[in-house]
Amino acid sequence: MSVDNKNQSEVSPFLADNDKQSAIERKEQELKDTKISALETEDDSQDITCGFWIFRGAFLQSCATEAMYVTIYGIAGCFMAMCFAYFNGTITTLEKRYKIPTKTLGIISVGNDMSTMFASALTGYYLRKVHRPRWMGFGLFTIVIFCLLNCSLHFIYGAGEDALKLTRDYGDYQNLTGNLNRAHRDHKLCMSEDSSCIQEDSVWVPQFILFLAQFILGIGQALFLVVGLAYMDDNTTKSKTPAMLSFSTFLRMLGPAIGYSLASLCLRWYIDPTAEPLIKIEDPRWLGAWWLGWLILAAITFVIAILMSLFPKELPSSKARRLKLERAGKQNPIEHKDHSLSDMWQSVKLLATNKVYVYNTCASILYFFGYMVYWIFTPKYIETQYQQSASVATMATGTVALGFSAVGVLLSGYLVSKYKPSARAMAAWNATVDFLTVAGILLYVFISCEGSDQLSSMATSDSCIASCHCEYVHYAPICSPENVTYISACHAGCTEKTKDQLGRTLFTGCDCINPINKTGGSELQYAVDGACHVDCFHQFLIFLGVMCFLKLVGASSKSTNLLIALRCIPPEDKSFALGVGSMVASLLGFIPSPIFYGWLIDKYCLVWGKTCSNKGNCWIYDTQSLRYALNLAAGSFILMGGFMNIVVWYHAKHLKIFDEVKTETGETKKSLEDITLKDLGSTLQLQKIGEDI
């Protein structure tokens, strides 16, 4: 045997052993790969599976469609908008019940914007690879907490002594306050001694609870809106996005209408439904059952939150579409990596160089700042300017005016989807809407009611009541024969109280009221209990008509503004850009504007409901000065927003809105992802940042 044969025979056992070992290792590797593949397949199937825990099944899976998501998302947005509208509709009642100045309520109302400002950017940046529908469901659960916190005030403090004293169960209607009781015993309504100040419930606790509720609401709002819009845009085809946005926005626009209607209905009930009120709903002292609607909203929102949480991480149709594009090489798989603060800063710098994004955001902020006074304080404006009840003012603001907003959203969505206007055309329309809004606001200035303006001429500082101490007397209006309303009998200098043949309460000996000649030459200075009737209904209808027109026109620019915001940024930065935009809008628009307008409204207050430790709520305003100040201030901001939209029009010439754009020859097609936007900077830089994040 040769040496080679000998060596081969000696080595072969080792080779056989090695082959066996390699086969075993290959088999183990194949098993591992099979397990990994099975796990990946299972994870992939879980990503598109509806439901959680025991809430699963074929029926739920059949609901994992674009149309169903947009419907549920719109309904959820509707109830969230109902919460905002209901709060705004009950603002004047909260002011009277808890003696809160308008400026303080303005600060309370921005609590949600403060939390939204921080939550939006973090939400848009860090929640891009999580199960977004479940986070949206969590956001809706926080709104349930918001509703319950607001409602808890009534169960903690009750209806309040002021409201209960105006019911049959708590004594004679004429004995409104302790001071008047004392005056009634002494037969002197004009008190010669200083009256003791009015003790009230804890002032700061209700305000803190209201602010805390608003702060929690902002977190839920950020989770729902920022994540929800990005999820919808990622899971629908670009050609369907305008229609989807319009439909969901339409459903959300129904929310304020229903919310204001619910507030109007609840305010028709007295704050204590078990008591019989001795005043009518038109009386400015009427307090409605503001707390009742929060229980209804909490229950329904809880159900919607569960439904929203049932949607999968990614819709099956969207995943199939994405995988098809990836296999065809038309779209690169998006790799999600851990994010750092430096990555976030790079994304912020990129957005700051995007001129379309920056100017469009500025235009939106200016519009929001100007129009915020009408979103929050329109019911209060109607009550003070046109002397309508809280229920009527709330119904007009919601059911009537916001119905036109919904029509505007639907109409604009239809026109945009059908005619597919360019980005420049959309920006031009946004500017036109701003200028039309300014024109309508200028009309507000001239829609005045003489009877309402005369209320500010009441004698509150005449020398005739210099000897009367009426500073802490409750607001209990009386009407003079000259149709002038006085804050109370004390403020009119009255000294006696009696009944006439019709059973009306008469206050006599009123030094501040011009004497009336009676038969026999005697003179009598008297007033009738209750505020004077002021007929401003005609002016109110004119105001309502102008407001409906502005709602219709203004709502038509919502979809176009949002489409520009969505399309001027790369897909991978979409959620973050929306979050940053929401944060900046909160910081510069939503937070300062209610405080500013609240301060402006309080500046023109003539009569405060003072208490021992607080100036309380305002009862009478200088309506003429307030009308000029509010409307001119709001119009100025919106006018600047219109000029900013002109700048957007100039820089949006290269921006494409829709998926495919045909050339004149009809041969070339470009998808949105392939468009290089001049105003976005370097394409390589975009790709690098996109990979890093």
pLDDT (tens digit, 9 = 90+) per residue, 89-136? 898 899 888 888 888 988 998 888 888 777 776 775 666 667 788 888
Both tokens of 146, joined, read 């918001």
pLDDT tens-place string over residues 368-418: 899 999 988 888 999 889 988 888 888 887 777 777 887 887 788 888 888
Intra-chain end-to-end CA distance of the chain, in Å = 68
291-312: pLDDT as tens digits? 999 999 999 999 999 988 888 8
Cα–Cα distance list, 613 to 40, 197, 199, 405, 616 (Å): 65, 9, 8, 42, 9
Instruction: Identify the pLDDT of residue 458.
Output: 55
How would residue 150 be classed by pLDDT, with cut points 50, 70 and 90? Answer: very high
Structure tokens at 611: 């208490």
> Cα separation of 185 and 208, whole Å?
39
How far, in Å, CA of 617 to CA of 620, rounded? 10
Q: What is the pLDDT of residues 151-167, one digit of tens each?
A: 999 999 988 888 888 88
Residue 662: Cβ within 10 Å count: 10
**HEC secondary structure over 515-550:** CEECCCCCEECEEEECCCCCCCHHHHHHHHHHHHHH
Q: How far is CA 62 from each of CA 53, 56, 69, 202, 549, rounded to the nearest angstrom? A: 17, 11, 12, 53, 41
Instruction: Label the pairing between strands 526-529 and 478-479.
Output: antiparallel
* Phi and psi angles of residue 293, each rounded to the nearest 5 degrees, phi first: -65, -30
Q: Give the containing element (helix H, strand E) for 621.
A: strand 618-621
Whether 542 has a pLDDT exceeding 90, the answer reads yes
Furthest CA-CA distance within the chain: 159
| pLDDT tens digits along 421-440 | 888 999 999 999 999 999 99
Quote the pLDDT of residue 201. 55
* pTM over the 0.75 mark: no
Q: Who's near 50: CB < 8 A, 6+ residues apart? A: 56, 60, 61, 63, 64, 310, 311, 312
Contact 266, 295 (CB under 8 A): no
Residue 447 predicted with pLDDT over 90: yes
Q: Is the dihedral of CA 215, 218, 219, 220 positive or negative?
A: positive
**Helix ranges restricted to H, 387-459:** 390-395, 402-419, 423-446, 450-454
Amino acid present at 77: G
**Average predicted confidence (pLDDT) for the chain:** 76
Kindly report, residue by residue over 43-56, the tens digit of the pLDDT. 455 667 777 666 67
Of 312-316, 329-333, 493-497, 635-639, the least confident: 329-333
* DSSP one-letter code for 590: I
Distance, CA of 384 to CA of 392 (rounded, Å): 12
Examine the pLDDT at 662 and tell me if it is beyond 60.
Answer: no
Distances (CA, A) of 517 to 498, 499, 522: 19, 19, 6
Residue 417, both tokens: 């989807």
**CA–CA distance from 483 to each of 143, 286, 452, 480 (Å)?**
47, 21, 11, 5
